[in-house]
């Protein structure tokens, strides 16, 4: 009888231990929309609803996650953080000064990131982004430098991280600028440390099986991935990166993984106050999140996904005084602001000289829907005409050499694309508080085991602590 009792106790204990173990997710995803405040998320959903002819929201994948919270983002030095301090908070749980990367405000004491902890505790680690792999947000997960601008040092620390997988745009600074001849460069450093470099998704697929550690860069070297609005088929994008990261992590499924994926260009679009591009980049990250969500559906008891942001950018306002929104106008924008600048800069008029005002109007019609789908006021048209004259009429020798294309772009057309985006946003009733960051709340969404921890008002420093708690990483 006694032995039966103790057998029952043993079985109960075993059950308790197993069910506890089942609550610790082996597979952890952390998505960070750079600059993605609450209005960037809500605006994307309201835009999608307007495209369906409704006022309301069309949910994204991640906005349907069952647990939601609001995150405060201030840094140690400012109510408005930059991506270095907020990245450090999200990765290490420590507040630091703006511009400082993975260190305390003393700029000397390194703080360990959740990725490093996961890695030292046997998990496989992937760090992914749409901006350079040595940019502030990804760097916060592996680097420690007094300044986010120490790009060469950050790249060196990437090579020495030992993490299994990186993906994103090319290194911003391959060589130590002070003595390039003495330095092997960060690409070579990575290869010497056992990383296989793949260029584009097809190249990844052909090299992954034999690679120990992998860095996935765009097919054609470039610091930033091509944003959604400007993308052509074959350009590497975040969904492919996320798919590759999961695939590479699952070479050793028993180890479990920590994957960080940054939608880095949400922030770029917001610094340009470019709403159409912002919503495009949010949708693009949502597509990548769908890949993680599909993985979650297959490994429900073992997976945790959180989606958050490092700060708000732009002070985006959904409404501009008229008690209405016309977000559907944004569908007519065919290129990002930078994309339109690049495109317009290469155009010539039919006579081989600069394009005429009538020719520019045709371009604005094709690329922004002006006069055709989107009616402009006389004042808006006259502002565009003034920008045209200032660009092409009065200042024909204004421009600079375009080193990317090797072609002389005689005119600086950025004033026109900046104004075109501004006017389209006006017609959509979107307003902006700043071209920089703001101190506004950012959201957090969570699904999976441990997701219930991410509710209420949370400080950004709590995010990695809660994630570690959920995933059983020793903090």
The site for Zn ion (CB under 5 A) is made up of 267
Q: Taking a C-beta distance cutoff of 8 angstroms, is the pair 448, 259 a contact? A: no
- When the beta carbons of 98 and 380 are compared against Zn ion, the nearer one is 98
Hey, how many other C-beta atoms are within 10 angstroms of the C-beta on 295? 21
- When the beta carbons of 147 and 455 are compared against Zn ion, the nearer one is 147
- When the beta carbons of 267 and 425 are compared against Zn ion, the nearer one is 267
| C-alpha 237 chain-centroid distance | 11
End-to-end CA distance of the chain: 44
Residue showing the smallest CB distance to Zn ion in the complex: 267
* Residue 294 CB partners (closer than 8 Å, separation 6+): none
> Of 79, 90, 133, 80, which Cα lies nearest the Cα of 115?
90
> Of 24, 207, 18, 211, which Cα lies nearest the Cα of 122?
24
Min dist CB 273 to Zn ion, Å, is 12
Min dist CB 195 to Zn ion, Å, is 28
- When the beta carbons of 267 and 410 are compared against Zn ion, the nearer one is 267
Min dist CB 313 to Zn ion, Å, is 5
- When the beta carbons of 58 and 72 are compared against Zn ion, the nearer one is 72
Min dist CB 297 to Zn ion, Å, is 33
Min dist CB 83 to Zn ion, Å, is 6
Min dist CB 310 to Zn ion, Å, is 8
- When the beta carbons of 297 and 436 are compared against Zn ion, the nearer one is 436
> Of 24, 46, 53, 461, which Cα lies nearest the Cα of 282?
46
| C-alpha 172 chain-centroid distance | 17
- When the beta carbons of 267 and 284 are compared against Zn ion, the nearer one is 267
- When the beta carbons of 267 and 418 are compared against Zn ion, the nearer one is 267
Helix 275-298 × helix 38-51 angle, to 10°: 90
Write out the DSSP string of 243-282: HHHHHHHTTSGGG-EEEEEEETHHHHHHHTT-HHHHHHHH
- When the beta carbons of 268 and 411 are compared against Zn ion, the nearer one is 268
Q: How far is CA 375 from CA 85, 174, 273, 412, 427, in A?
A: 43, 48, 21, 26, 8
Hey, how many other C-beta atoms are within 10 angstroms of the C-beta on 110? 14
Hey, how many other C-beta atoms are within 10 angstroms of the C-beta on 155? 27
Min dist CB 54 to Zn ion, Å, is 32
Burial 228-239 (b: 16+ CB within 10 A, else e): bbbbeeebbbbb
Min dist CB 20 to Zn ion, Å, is 41
Min dist CB 205 to Zn ion, Å, is 33
Q: What span, in angstroms and rounded, lies between the C-alpha atoms of 401 and 398?
A: 10
Min dist CB 268 to Zn ion, Å, is 8
Q: Taking a C-beta distance cutoff of 8 angstroms, is the pair 141, 117 a contact? A: no
- When the beta carbons of 85 and 344 are compared against Zn ion, the nearer one is 85
């Amino acid at each position: 009888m006694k032995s039966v009792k103790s057998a029952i106790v043993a079985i109960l204990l075993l059950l308790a231990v197993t069910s506890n173990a089942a609550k610790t997710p082996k597979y952890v995803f952390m998505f960070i929309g750079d600059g993605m405040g609450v209005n960037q998320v809500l605006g994307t959903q309201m835009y999608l609803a307007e495209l369906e002819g409704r006022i309301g929201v069309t949910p994204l994948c991640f906005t349907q996650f069952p647990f939601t919270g609001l995150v405060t983002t201030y840094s140690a030095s400012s109510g408005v953080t930059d991506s270095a301090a907020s990245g450090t908070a999200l990765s290490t749980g420590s507040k630091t000064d703006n511009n400082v990367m993975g260190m305390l405000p003393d700029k000397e004491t390194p703080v360990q990131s959740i990725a490093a902890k996961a890695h030292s505790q046997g998990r496989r680690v992937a760090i992914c982004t749409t901006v350079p792999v040595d940019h502030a947000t990804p760097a916060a997960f592996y680097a420690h430098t007094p300044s986010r601008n120490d790009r060469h040092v950050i790249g060196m620390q990437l090579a020495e991280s030992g993490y299994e997988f990186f993906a994103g745009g090319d290194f911003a600074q391959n060589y130590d600028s002070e003595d390039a001849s003495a330095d092997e460069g960060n690409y070579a450093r990575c290869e010497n440390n056992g990383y296989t470099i793949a260029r584009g998704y097809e190249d990844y697929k052909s090299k992954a099986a034999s690679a120990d550690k992998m860095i996935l860069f765009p097919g054609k070297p470039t610091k930033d991935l091509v944003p959604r609005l400007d993308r052509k088929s074959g350009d590497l994008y975040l969904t492919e990166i996320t798919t590759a990261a999961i695939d590479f992590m699952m070479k050793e499924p028993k180890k479990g993984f920590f994957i960080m994926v940054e939608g880095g260009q949400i922030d770029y679009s917001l610094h340009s106050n470019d709403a159409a591009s912002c919503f495009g980049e949010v949708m693009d990250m949502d597509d990548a999140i769908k890949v993680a969500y599909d993985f979650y559906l297959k490994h429900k008891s073992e997976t945790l996904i959180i989606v958050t942001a490092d700060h708000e950018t732009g002070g985006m306002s959904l409404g501009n005084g008229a008690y209405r929104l016309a977000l559907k106008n944004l569908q007519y924008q065919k290129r990002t602001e930078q994309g339109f600048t690049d495109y317009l800069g290469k155009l010539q008029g039919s006579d081989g000289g600069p394009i005429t005002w009538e020719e520019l109007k045709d371009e604005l019609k094709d690329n922004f829907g002006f006069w055709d789908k989107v009616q402009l006021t006389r004042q808006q048209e006259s502002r565009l005409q003034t920008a045209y004259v200032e660009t092409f009429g009065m200042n024909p020798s204004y421009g600079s050499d375009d080193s990317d294309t090797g072609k002389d772009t005689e005119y600086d057309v950025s004033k026109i694309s900046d104004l075109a985006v501004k006017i389209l946003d006006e017609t959509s009733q979107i307003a902006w508080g700043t071209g920089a960051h703001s101190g506004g709340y950012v959201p957090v969404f969570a699904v999976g085991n441990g997701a219930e921890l991410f509710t209420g008002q949370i400080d950004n420093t709590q995010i990695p602590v809660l994630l570690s708690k959920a995933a059983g990483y020793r903090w």
